[in-house]
Structure 1
Amino acid sequence: MPTPDAATFAEQWVRAWNDHDVEAVLAHFHDDVVFTSPVAARLLPETAGVVRGKDALRHYWATALRMLPDLHFEVVGVYRGESLLVVNYRNERGGLVNEVLTFDGALVREGHGTYLE
């Protein structure tokens, strides 16, 4: 299965995040996306870190943005695999994060936020 152009995707992704435009970020995701993140587990404990569906992902990210008004990402690198992109970025606190995105066609079917411990 083809993978989107890594540079183009990362440019759109980081612009949407830095604009705090949740809908622009969500435009890259299937309606039945599954997204895992330890941040989701902390902010929305009922999820146990697993967010299912675009509406739930919208709620998670909107909640996170309200709590992190200074959120800003800087892309460090983008890695391409078969139907997979990994976006390595630095957040507003200087922490390194990887977002691992599995594609089904042009849209993300599954994503994982991973953080340096």
Structure 2
Amino acid sequence: MDSVEARKFVDGWLAAWNAHDLDALLAHFADDVTFRSPVAAQLLGGDGVIRGKEALRAYWSEGLRRIPDLRFEVVGTYVGVDCLVINYRNQKGGLVNEVLIFAGPLVVDGYGAYLGDDENPAGATR
């Protein structure tokens, strides 16, 4: 992934989230994607591991239902070999990192990483 591809991906990712357009967002993810997030454990119970695009849709749909004012602002983008890290601020001002691993043009693994509760008392929101 080069910086042009990364910028295009991030622009689409951000626009989809801010429009609450799950179809546009999920178009970037493989059918067998795995996504890990402590917020998934909070919202859905379990170990925080989401397996498959339809399960990811269900998780993010629930998040949008609970957080109707969800909005992100990208702070930084970091490009690696077959990976991308998006550092963003959520609607509560909390900083979040999303680590995305690619196989070709699609995300196959993702990780949501948040500040610990001591540093983010409002809790994570995605």
- What TM bracket, shorter-length normalisation? over 0.9
The answer to which structure, 1 or 2, has the higher relative contact order (CA under 8 A, 6+ apart) is: 1
Give me the TM-score of the superposition, normalised by structure 1.
0.95
Match of 2:87 in 1: 88
> Counterparts of 1:26 and 1:80 in 2: how far apart (Å)?
20
> What is the aligned-residue identity percentage?
59
Give me the TM-score of the superposition, normalised by structure 2.
0.88
> Counterparts of 2:77 and 2:24 in 1: how far apart (Å)?
19
Match of 2:120 in 1: none
User: Moved runs in structure 1, 4+ residues, more than 2 A?
Assistant: none
> Counterparts of 1:62 and 1:38 in 2: how far apart (Å)?
16
Paired residue type of 2:101: T
State the Cα deviation string for residues 76-99 of structure 1 (Å, max 9, x = none). Answer: 010000000000000000000000
The answer for unaligned runs of 5 or more in structure 2 is 117-126
Match of 2:72 in 1: 73
State the Cα deviation string for residues 5-35 of structure 1 (Å, max 9, x = none). Answer: 1111111100000000111110000000000
Paired residue type of 1:97: V
Match of 1:39 in 2: 39
The answer for unaligned runs of 5 or more in structure 1 is none
> Counterparts of 1:86 and 1:9 in 2: how far apart (Å)?
11
